[in-house]
Amino acid sequence: MSASIMHYARATSTSGQKDERGSIQLERNRLTSEEWEDHSKIIDVRNQALAHVYSGRTAGDHTWHRDIFFAVETPNGTWAAASASNQTSYHEATLGRLERMLPIAIREVKAKFQKRIAAVSTMLNREIEIAHFRKHAFDPLAIFGSEETVRAIIQGRQFGETSIWVNEHTPRAPSGT
């Protein structure tokens, strides 16, 4: 159950910078009030009970962790410190929320994906000025180590990708000999 909650939260409630994966949030105005409540409670469980543990705090509508410290009288009449903890690993109401929200989350994340992939497609189909390429020019020998490796990479373009093994520990003759 914990993994399901974590995956749901990762897919529907994340932040990220523009150069990273980007933010993915379910939008309140695209959900019914019941759906938003379910979503919020699942995210609350992730934030308050799984990613961070707050003993005794209600997350969603359940107290997921409880720690109790107390004293116990021993047979010889002294007192000893004791503790007890409980941790919820299954909560039926939260499972029900996940079952209701997964189809909705899939629909919403797919819509966001389609929007983002359309933007990428538009960008890739645009004419690119040569100045953009020149700005990012580099010396392939400095990056890939040898002309042989560079040629192998370029030859692989016709297949869409290239995988080659490069032995970086091959002894080389000193330059100038």
Cα–Cα distance between 45 and 6 in angstroms, integer? 9
Q: Is residue 135 part of a domain?
A: no
Tell me, what's the pLDDT at 46? 92
Per the structure, the count of domains in the chain is 1
Q: Is residue 106 part of a domain?
A: yes
Q: Is residue 46 part of a domain?
A: yes
Beta strands 65-73 and 62-63 are unpaired
Q: Is residue 70 part of a domain?
A: yes
Q: Is residue 137 part of a domain?
A: no
Tell me, what's the pLDDT at 171? 47
Picking from 141, 177, 149, 142, the residue whose alpha carbon sits closest to that of residue 165 is 149
Side chain identity at residue 94, one-letter code: T
Cα–Cα distance between 10 and 22 in angstroms, integer? 12
pLDDT mean across residues, the chain: 86
Q: Is residue 97 part of a domain?
A: yes
Cα–Cα distance between 147 and 168 in angstroms, integer? 14
What stretches in the chain show pLDDT beneath 50? 171-173, 177
Picking from 108, 94, 137, the residue whose alpha carbon sits closest to that of residue 1 is 94
Picking from 98, 82, 85, 91, the residue whose alpha carbon sits closest to that of residue 5 is 98
User: What pLDDT digit, counting tens, does each position of 90-111 carry?
Assistant: 899 999 999 999 999 999 999 9
CA angle 17, 38, 59 (to 5 degrees): 80
Q: Is residue 127 part of a domain?
A: no
Do residues 9 and 46 make contact, with C-beta atoms less than 8 angstroms apart?
yes
Q: Is residue 145 part of a domain?
A: no
The residue segments making up the domain with residue 46 are 2-122
